Amino acid sequence: MNAYQDIYKNWQNNPYEFWLKAANAIDWSKSPKVALDPESGVYGRWFPDATGNTCYNCIDRHIAAGRGDQAAIIYDSPVTNHKSTYSYNQLFDEVTALATAIQDLGVKRGDRVIIYMPMIPQAAFAMLACARIGAIHSVVFGGFAPKELATRIDDAKPNLILSASCGIEPSRTIAYKPLLDEAIELAAHKPDSCVIFQRPECEATLDKDRDHNWRSVILATKAAGARSDYAELPATDPLYILYTSGTTGEPKGVVRDNGGHMVALQWSMGNIYNTHPGEVYWAASDVGWVVGHSYIVYGPLLQGATTVLFEGKPVGTPDAGTFWRIIEEYKVSTLFTAPTALRAIKKEDPNGVHLERYDISSLKALFLAGERADPDTIQWAEENLKVPVIDNWWQTETGWPIASNPMGIEKLPIKYGSPCLAMPGYEVQVLAEDGSQLGANELGAICIKLPLPPGCLPTLWNKDDRFQDSYLSAFPGYYETADAGFIDEDGYISIMARTDDIINVAGHRLSTGGMEEVLSAHPDVAECAVLGIADRLKGQIPIGFIILKDGTEKSALQVEGECVQLIRQKIGAVAALKMIMRVERLPKTRSGKILRGTIRKIADGADWSMPATIDDPAIFEEISAVLRARKILE
């Protein structure tokens, strides 16, 4: 452990020097002399005196260094049978043309641009084009329903929305344009214009005043020969806003700044992911999630690596060998995905038969994040892939791993069930409710001592107070991760549960409180509760309980079905709430709090004890009977 420990201690002893040194890996317009200004922002701002541009660092400097013909983005789409590769030179052409086009549409530095797109290269071009001119992008996952998109439009207030005519799921083609139109209709804020990438699988009808055809706009810009130069931006300027589920109500607009983000991501590419310029890195995720932002787009491109953008699923497109085909075909050296993807493969191909068809010898390591990596899945992957399988723990808010096995520094011993040790920049502590530090192996709230390192959120979009209240107020001087867990005697961190209402469904972060809000709005629902239960494939899935209003004329079955549809309409199919059960009563404390935690334990078949504060213990038997009837409980 010496190499890691030396580096971690070096950071602890000289945090500012550590990050100023790391900042040398970035090509700045004006290099930083100051690492952190502790007085500005909510808890300080990184590299306050520096200027530069993220897009320049992702593209131009690699071309200047002779990588122009190297593949920058490989697009592989088994759902459309399409493959293409963009070299750094071609990426430059696409991004500069789009940057010029959006400037021509009136977008300026600091303006917001929403990107609502499927997994096609144009989504990455859009992010980089915004970065080039200093517009702040906000990518909204394509699986979210119009209402979710509308909430984000109202919070970010974009001048422009970049979208595509459709997304393609294995089971169906999803026309995006009607969803976009409905979202704009629902939102109070109206964007000036939309640019739509037409896909042949389902072309969209464009509004002649508001909408523009992506291809026509790009062709015209290229024909005019205009090329947007990159903007010299303060390192503290926001690069993007990424909305993530918060505790009930509005999603949280996580802000990422330009400078700290570049420094942290580039550091992580070499030191954590052991990926170097020219190597092929594949994060099998979606650009709508933080993994997609950090490790499909920005991380690999900052590092001068090749990134794979995959429009497909681990199974069914066409089979459970797809991942191995991609590794062979593009000589992928590092794969990053969510444990749920491996569980899906393992379920279909437990003996790894598909692996025999492919040569995956280019693969150096598999990284897993987004949810707890269960030891069974890790061991299965180790045995079948014959490479180190590395769990890493982080969040949308941090943007890069809080804890990992730093493969570029040294491979530390693996302890199954733990994402290993804290990375430099993060002083992780487990705190009791009163804020005191807990000892080894004691379960508590996992917190990070302030300041957070470069790359982590400096605040929430336009909501410093909410940032302070949600993350910094419970434990003064610390950032509260909302994960509970413990640290063992060797410093290994274990993440056990969320302390809020967030659940993790197939690596997707969702709020059960948000789902309850939707169910409560059904005219026949008097009361409801949604909670996450363990699921073999997706890690967790939500289940819902509803109490019907007196005098409801509809049958329970009908209301349950309508509630399932309501969640799909208001949040999106990705919420995966398919089991809604009518009950007569919900178990509550005497003060009226629904005992969701105990219901979850019962549904999971875990040990549970009768809460002392319960108003009527018989309700648990009623709930158990319903769970048995639905075969959730044996």
Give contact residues for ligand AMP (rule: CB under 6 A): 244, 290, 369-373, 391-393, 395-396, 419, 481, 483, 495, 498, 504, 509
Report in angstroms how near the CB of residue 289 gets to ligand COA at its nearest: 5
Report in angstroms how near the CB of residue 357 gets to ligand COA at its nearest: 20
| 224: three-class secondary structure by DSSP | helix
Q: Is the CB of 260 or the CB of 539 nearer to ligand COA? A: 539
| 627: three-class secondary structure by DSSP | helix
Q: What angle do CA 143, 144, 145 make, to 5 degrees?
A: 120
Binding of residue 217 to ligand COA (CB under 6 A): no
- Residue 495 touches which of ligand AMP, ligand COA, none (CB < 5 to 8 A by kind)? ligand AMP
Q: Is the CB of 259 or the CB of 288 nearer to ligand AMP? A: 288
- Residue 392 touches which of ligand COA, ligand AMP, none (CB < 5 to 8 A by kind)? ligand AMP
Site string for ligand COA, 277-296 (x = CB under 6 A): --------xx--x-x-----
Q: What angle do CA 581, 583, 589 make, to 5 degrees?
A: 120
What span, in angstroms and rounded, lies between the C-alpha atoms of 531 and 577?
Answer: 10
Binding of residue 244 to ligand COA (CB under 6 A): no
Q: Is the CB of 271 or the CB of 392 nearer to ligand AMP? A: 392
Q: What is the DSSP-derived secondary structure letter of residue 23? A: G
Q: What angle do CA 80, 198, 251 make, to 5 degrees?
A: 90
- Residue 506 touches which of ligand AMP, ligand COA, none (CB < 5 to 8 A by kind)? ligand COA
What span, in angstroms and rounded, lies between the C-alpha atoms of 563 and 453?
Answer: 42
Binding of residue 576 to ligand COA (CB under 6 A): yes
Q: Is the CB of 52 or the CB of 399 nearer to ligand COA? A: 399
Report in angstroms how near the CB of residue 451 gets to ligand AMP at its nearest: 19
Q: In this structure, what token pair is assigned to residue 229?
A: 């130069």
Report in angstroms how near the CB of residue 232 gets to ligand COA at its nearest: 33
Q: Greatest CA span in the chain, whole angstroms?
A: 75
Contact stretch for ligand COA (CB under 6 A) within 38-46, 166-174, 192-200, 471-479: 166-174
Binding of residue 484 to ligand COA (CB under 6 A): no
What span, in angstroms and rounded, lies between the C-alpha atoms of 621 and 624?
Answer: 5
- Residue 396 touches which of ligand COA, ligand AMP, none (CB < 5 to 8 A by kind)? ligand AMP
What span, in angstroms and rounded, lies between the C-alpha atoms of 117 and 397?
Answer: 22
Binding of residue 574 to ligand COA (CB under 6 A): yes
Q: What values do phi and psi take at 447, rounded to 5?
A: -130, 155
Binding of residue 202 to ligand COA (CB under 6 A): no
Question: Count of alpha carbons within 13 Å of 443, Cβ hemisphere only?
Answer: 8
- Residue 315 touches which of ligand COA, ligand AMP, none (CB < 5 to 8 A by kind)? ligand COA
Q: What values do phi and psi take at 226, rounded to 5?
A: -75, 140
What span, in angstroms and rounded, lies between the C-alpha atoms of 629 and 631?
Answer: 5
Bond prior to 451 in cis (omega within 30° of 0): yes
What span, in angstroms and rounded, lies between the C-alpha atoms of 135 and 107?
Answer: 7
Give Cα 76 to chain centroid, integer Å. Answer: 21
Binding residues vs ligand COA (CB under 6 A): 142-143, 167, 169, 171, 174, 285-286, 289, 291, 313-315, 338, 340-341, 344, 370, 506-508, 537, 573-574, 576
